[in-house]
Amino acid sequence: MDDRFEQLLKRKIGLDVESVGQVVLERAIRQRIKATASGDEDSYWQQLHVSPAEQLALVEAVVVPETWFFRYPESFSQLVKLAQARLTELKHARPLRIISLPCSTGEEPYSIVMALLDDGLAPQSFEVDALDVSERVIQLASEGVYGRNSFRGDSLGFRDRHFSVEGDRYLLDQSVREKVNLQCSNLFATNLHSTRQPYDFVFCRNLLIYFDRPTQLQALQTLKRLLAPGGAMFTGPAETGLFSQNGMQALAAPLSFVFKVADVSPPVSKPSAGLSFQTQSQAARPLQPVAKPVMAKPRQANVSKPALAELHSSAEGSAVTKADTAAAELSAIEALANSGRTAEALKACHLLLDTHGASAGLFYWLGLLSDTVGDSDAAQNFYRKALYLEPEHIEALSHLAMLLEARGDQAGARRLRQRASRGVNNSG
């Protein structure tokens, strides 16, 4: 397959195809060829080239981010605290302004509304905008009808408070739906900032990891322009390194992944095609949205090598080295983690440690997953092991800095961030 489809997706939404995998793109193209009865790639390209609707359909086939209500619950707990403080600061002179992008099928913006209402905020004290590039998912979000896969974890009391049951579906109350202003748009729309007042809180999670480095930096600057002075920005766990290295300061709130604009910005990293979140030595890539949603089904008790092999089937039939195999299995761990299967991902990490031995990338992943389940002691230990093997592992430095800051070690956190900044600049 030639690269014209990759180039179109790059122009359309800034997508770095490597972030989802060549196999995912090829599968999506085959699906769209069949759906449009195009016959072959050349015929499909002709249709794709002249049809904005089909371009969007291809985007949706390639990028299907998985989401559920109250994903990263600590983020919403922190939002509630920050919202109360912000209203006091504003002396309730105006409603809080909040944006969620991309909003997908609505789980994130509706979680924002439910969290604030459950904390006692009056409906008129806040406004929520929600944007997504897909008209299809905006329509689904507006309907407010969800299946079991949108509800995960043990804390589901909100479902009883805000949903009614109809068969095997859950219908979101109108009082929540009407608080979200859903719109079809994207982060790179030319009028995005000019048509909106700045926001007190910006939620943009697990989006920037789709982009190459220059596009990431461009997106981050747009997000900063959307943020009101003194506001806060919520990101995904894999994007914290990018934020820390480019003028944003993490708040001392474990697992909330929330940032404010730093008082004194560190040196901005230079765009580099060779530097993403991955370190130079085949370190673990960050958490990324998987292109195929995981259907609700019983969790497996153990993770075996065949199960991992299924998740990186693109390597089947090829002669690969031990390092190649380890890298492929780290990619499989990404897929497990991003589908919410954290326990399985941790087991897969330990299996990989047993079969291939220690590496900075693997220890970084063990740290990130331990962080996700709230075991900060284990996370700190694994991040330090990653740094023992690779002292300038940028992501491990950034995440360890956040842990130290949350524990009150401001000096230690500052030293680690300085090391991370030097590493980025040297790589540029």
Provide the strand spans (E) within 253-333: 258-261
Cα 273-287-258 angle, rounded to 5 deg: 95
**Choice among 144-153, 338-347, 362-371 with the minimum mean pLDDT:** 338-347
Is 301 part of any domain?
A: no
Round to whole Å and give the CA distance between 328 and 287. 14
User: Is the CB of residue 234 less than 8 Å from the CB of residue 258?
Assistant: yes
pLDDT on residue 318: 44
Banded model confidence at residue 319, pLDDT cuts 50, 70, 90: very low
Same domain, 37 and 85: no
The CATH number that applies at residue 215 is: 3.40.50.150
Q: What are phi and psi of 201, to 5 degrees?
A: -140, 130
Same domain, 236 and 91: yes
* Token digits of residue 29: 């193209």
Is 296 part of any domain?
A: no
**Choice among 170-179, 201-210, 302-311, 411-420 with the minimum mean pLDDT:** 302-311
Is 294 part of any domain?
A: no
Of the residues 261, 288, 305, which one is the last residue of a structural domain?
261
Q: For the chain, give the mean pLDDT.
A: 78
Whether 130 shows a pLDDT value over 80: the answer reads yes
Of the residues 12, 37, 62, which one is the last residue of a structural domain?
62
Is 273 part of any domain?
A: no
Is 271 part of any domain?
A: no
Tell me the mean pLDDT in the region 95-101: 96
Provide the strand spans (E) within 194-339: 199-203, 227-234, 248-250, 258-261
% of residues, the chain, pLDDT over 90:
29
Of the residues 261, 277, 298, which one is the last residue of a structural domain?
261
Contacts of 390 (CB under 8 A, 6+ apart): 279, 281, 283, 360, 396
For the entire predicted model, the pTM comes to 0.63
Is 387 part of any domain?
A: yes
pLDDT on residue 298: 29
Same domain, 233 and 107: yes
Same domain, 326 and 252: no
Whether 121 shows a pLDDT value over 80: the answer reads yes
CA dist 214 → 7, 130, 206, 219, 273 (Å):
15, 25, 17, 9, 8
* Token digits of residue 338: 């991003």
**Choice among 164-178, 276-290, 297-311 with the minimum mean pLDDT:** 276-290
Contacts of 61 (CB under 8 A, 6+ apart): 28, 31, 32
Same domain, 252 and 345: no
Give the strand pairing for 163-166 and 169-172: antiparallel
DSSP assignment letter at 292: S
Is 267 part of any domain?
A: no
Whether 270 shows a pLDDT value over 90: the answer reads no
**Count of domains observed in the chain:** 3
How do residues 375-403 score in pLDDT, each as one tens digit?
Answer: 878 888 888 888 878 888 888 887 888 77
How do residues 23-79 score in pLDDT, each as one tens digit?
Answer: 778 888 888 899 889 888 999 998 888 888 788 788 777 776 678 999 889 899 999
Same domain, 351 and 420: yes
What kind and span of H or E run contains 97? strand 96-100
pLDDT on residue 277: 27
Same domain, 50 and 165: no
Return the higher-pLDDT residue of 272 and 148.
148
Nearest in space to 174 (alpha carbons), one of 144, 129, 205: 144
Same domain, 39 and 81: no
Tell me the mean pLDDT in the region 145-161: 92
pLDDT on residue 169: 96
User: Is the CB of residue 75 less than 8 Å from the CB of residue 256?
Assistant: yes
Same domain, 21 and 95: no
Is 297 part of any domain?
A: no
Q: What are phi and psi of 145, to 5 degrees?
A: -115, 125
How do residues 225-263 score in pLDDT, each as one tens digit?
Answer: 999 999 999 998 778 778 877 888 888 777 788 999 876
Whether 365 shows a pLDDT value over 50: the answer reads yes
DSSP SS3 for 171: strand
Domain hosting 120: range is 73-261
Cα Rg for the chain, rounded, in angstroms? 21
Same domain, 79 and 22: no
Same domain, 28 and 96: no
Round to whole Å and give the CA distance between 51 and 274. 33
* Token digits of residue 190: 């030319």
Same domain, 9 and 133: no
Nearest in space to 82 (alpha carbons), one of 248, 251, 264: 251
The CATH number that applies at residue 335 is: 1.25.40.10
